[in-house]
Amino acid sequence: MSRSDWIRLRNGLLFISPWILGFVVLNLYPLLSSFAYSFTDYSVLSDPVYVGTDNYERLLKDGLFWQSLYNTFFFAAFSIPASLAVSLIFAVLLNFELPGRSIFRTIYFLPSLLPLVCLGVLWQWLLNGDIGLINAALDPFFDTFNRIFGTSVRPPNWLADPAFTKPALILTTVWTAGNAVVIFLAGLQDVPRSLYEAAEIDGANFFQKLLHVTLPMISPVIYFNGIMALIGSFQVFALPFIITGGSDGPGRSLMFTATYIYRRAFEYWDMGYACAIGLVLFLFVLVLTLLAHFISQRYTYYQGE
Amino acid sequence: MSFVRPLTLWQKAIIYTLLLLGVAAFLTPFLWMVSTALKPLRETMSFPPKWIPSEWQWGNFHRAMIEMGPFWRYLGNTLIICFLSVAGTVMSSALAAYGFARIRWRGRDTVFLIVLATMMIPFPVIMVPIYTLFRELSWTGTFRPLWVPCFLAGAFNVFLLRQFFMTIPQELSEAARIDGCSEWGIFWRVVLPLSRPALLVVALFQFMFSWNDFLGPLIYLTDQQDYTLALGLQSFQSKSGGTSWNLLMAASTLIAVPVIVLFFFTQKSFVEGIATTGSKG
């Protein structure tokens, strides 16, 4: 390397030094020591004791861990597509150049500004089975249904019935999809007008244009929003914690892996085991992200490449 | 979709109907929050629910503050943490982003891939060692674990600022360099002044993050006097056991309003910043 190469290298490293320090202290060291702790029995109060693969063996037999993993996968599998679909639909609607669109955009965005604790408390109230607003809105429909069919079905008791807690949480999550709406809208506005013109000359209707022009052109944005939602949903913690009032929900139906790690670590001071669970969670996120990456290589289209 | 053909009246009507359905879905919960916050307790229980309180209980806000505990202390704590976090984030991520966007050094793009990869690490995975580290330093029970890490350039903010820095014409740096400006001088006198909008976005995101953060304060703060607003609201919620909904909604409103007001004042940069996060790098 020439002298100026060295100077640039030195300057570059100096400028990124805060990040290097952060990477070592807040990412690399924790990952490595999490790996090390996962082979120990560690309660923070006393030094870690090496126990071999005990934690991992315990994990295989731990029903609560598997339940938390099932809950996490269930939540991810439904909340990600639901959020993507809802945010894409509203972004497409906003992309029509109609008066008032910026007001609509602002309104759609508002829920994603709400602090998670407020969000949780608010939806705990909205979803209240007896006097909640959502069931009040559903009640007339159920009444009509019951009158016609002579049945007596009632709206679900969302947060008290294990069959409905996860749908309730997914609904709450979808409500905060405004962030993705804004990102989608920016992507939509980058699609060249000429492509739509060409499609229209070929006689394409709205849905054909959507399917064959819009979706391929914004596929990188779909990928980006999907990855962000994936990473977010595998660490979902605060919202279920608050919406259940600090419990795990009926039948532990809202106990997610992040919740379980938190409880093992900070309620039972079972740090070694918590680290083992964390690493398994990380493995899943890693595999899924790589999978999404390879799928996206096949299906995303990058303009100008 | 920007359509070339003008929309017919029918098409417009359908689009507006759908957009208004969206407004109803996204806005109603907020209105319900405020409506509940202004009701006497008795009226929160009525079914079917009433939207307009029979008498407007403005006093609920004051009562909620008292019930929550030391509200003003919570607010002060939150503001201290927010302020320090924002300062640290803006400084450190601007430096790192400059190093990634404006200096061409060997291995830079590989290192930047590591920056992006760190965004994938879920916090629960590294939470335990970070906690034990701060415990070793005797920082648990203080604000330090909540703001000191912000001085170490988080990946997301570095990414965001790098995107912006790369759009500044390289000629400006070259001109300054010819005039004898050092790398630091270019950063400080050329790039930073041109990047005010992007720095504002990063500051806003960090402010919101620190204001809203729950897991961090939950792990590190032990004394109720040190609680943030978010943690204070959660402890009020678990104390009240889901009964005094009017006060809970009043407290939620109080905590949400500053964020929403801040958003309205900075809407343009905010929305642009979020749109940038999705653009390819």
- How many helices (H) and strands (E) are present in chain A, helices listed first? 17, 2
Q: Is the peptide bond before B48 cis (omega within 30 degrees of 0)?
A: yes
Contact B278 A1 (CB under 8 A): no
pLDDT at A190: 87
Q: Is the dihedral of CA A10, A14, A15, A16 positive or negative?
A: positive
Provide the residue type at A3 as one letter.
Answer: R
φ, ψ for residue A242 (rounded to 5)?
-75, -45
Bridge partners (DSSP) listed for residue A50: A40
Please give, rounded to a whole number of angstroms, the shortest distance from the CA of B184 to a CA of chain A.
9
Would you state the structure tokens that stand for residue B142, as one six-digit string?
């203080």
* CA separation for the pair A236, B208 (Å, rounded): 18
Please give, rounded to a whole number of angstroms, the shortest distance from the CA of B136 to a CA of chain A.
10
> How many residues are listed for chain B in this entry?
281
User: Domain extents for chain A?
Assistant: 56-299
Cα–Cα–Cα angle for A172, A173, A176, rounded to 5 degrees = 95
pLDDT at B2: 47
Exposed/middle/buried for A4, CB within 10 Å: 0-12, 13-18, 19+? exposed
Contact B129 A30 (CB under 8 A): yes
Would you state the structure tokens that stand for residue A29, as one six-digit string?
């060291």
Residues of chain B positioned with their CB less than 8 A from the CB of A221: 278
Interface with B, mutate which of A7, A13, A14, A19 (most B CBs under 10 A): A19
φ, ψ for residue A41 (rounded to 5)?
-105, 115
CATH class of this structure's domain B69-240: mainly alpha
Which pLDDT tens digit goes with each residue over A237-281? 999 999 999 999 999 999 999 999 999 999 999 999 999 999 999
The answer to whether A41 touches A56, Cβ cutoff 8 Å, is no
DSSP character at residue B241: T
Question: Helical H runs in A16-152?
Answer: 17-23, 29-37, 54-61, 63-94, 101-109, 116-126, 133-149
Q: Give percent above pLDDT 70 in chain A.
A: 99
Residues of chain A positioned with their CB less than 8 A from the CB of B219: 266
Q: A299 pLDDT band (50/70/90 cuts)?
A: confident
Contact B153 A179 (CB under 8 A): no
pLDDT at B271: 83
| A15 lies within 8 A of chain B by CB | yes
pLDDT at B242: 65
Whether A93 shows a pLDDT value over 90: the answer reads yes
Residues of chain B positioned with their CB less than 8 A from the CB of A122: 29, 32-33, 249, 252
Residues of chain A positioned with their CB less than 8 A from the CB of B279: 186-187
Residue B20's closest chain A neighbor by CA? A104
- The verdict on pTM exceeding 0.80 is yes
Exposed/middle/buried for A138, CB within 10 Å: 0-12, 13-18, 19+? middle
β-pair type (A49-50, A40-41): antiparallel
pLDDT at B243: 76
| A189 lies within 8 A of chain B by CB | yes
Residue reference for tokens 């060692």? B129
Contact A282 B237 (CB under 8 A): no
Residues of chain B positioned with their CB less than 8 A from the CB of A231: 119-120, 122
**SS3 state of residue A41:** strand
Picking from B149, B267, B274, the nearest residue to A183 by CB comes out as: B274
Of A127-131, A138-142, A296-300, B61-65, least confident by mean pLDDT is A296-300
Q: A45 pLDDT band (50/70/90 cuts)?
A: confident
The answer to whether A131 touches B227, Cβ cutoff 8 Å, is no
Interface with B, mutate which of A3, A5, A6, A16 (most B CBs under 10 A): A16
Please give, rounded to a whole number of angstroms, the shortest distance from the CA of B196 to a CA of chain A.
19
DSSP character at residue B6: P
The CATH code that applies to domain A56-299 is 1.10.3720.10
User: Domain extents for chain B?
Assistant: 9-62, 69-240
Residues of chain B positioned with their CB less than 8 A from the CB of A17: 95-96
Whether A10 shows a pLDDT value over 80: the answer reads yes
Mean pLDDT in order along chain B per 10 residues (281 residues): 70 94 95 95 85 91 94 97 98 97 94 93 93 95 97 94 91 92 94 92 94 96 96 92 87 95 88 74 43
* CA separation for the pair A21, B41 (Å, rounded): 52
Per-residue H/E/C for B252-266: HHHHHHHHHHHHHHC
How does the average pLDDT of chain A come out, rounded? 93
* CA separation for the pair B97, B135 (Å, rounded): 30
pLDDT at A305: 45
Provide the residue type at B58 as one letter.
Answer: W
Spatial CA neighbour of B84 closest among B154, B134, B151: B151
pLDDT at B58: 94
ipTM rounded to 2 decimals: 0.92
Cβ-based neighbours of B244, under 8 Å, separated by 6 or more: B41, B67
Which pLDDT tens digit goes with each residue over A206-248? 889 999 999 999 998 999 899 989 999 999 999 999 999 999 9
pLDDT at A300: 78
Residues of chain B positioned with their CB less than 8 A from the CB of A90: 19, 22
**SS3 state of residue A50:** strand
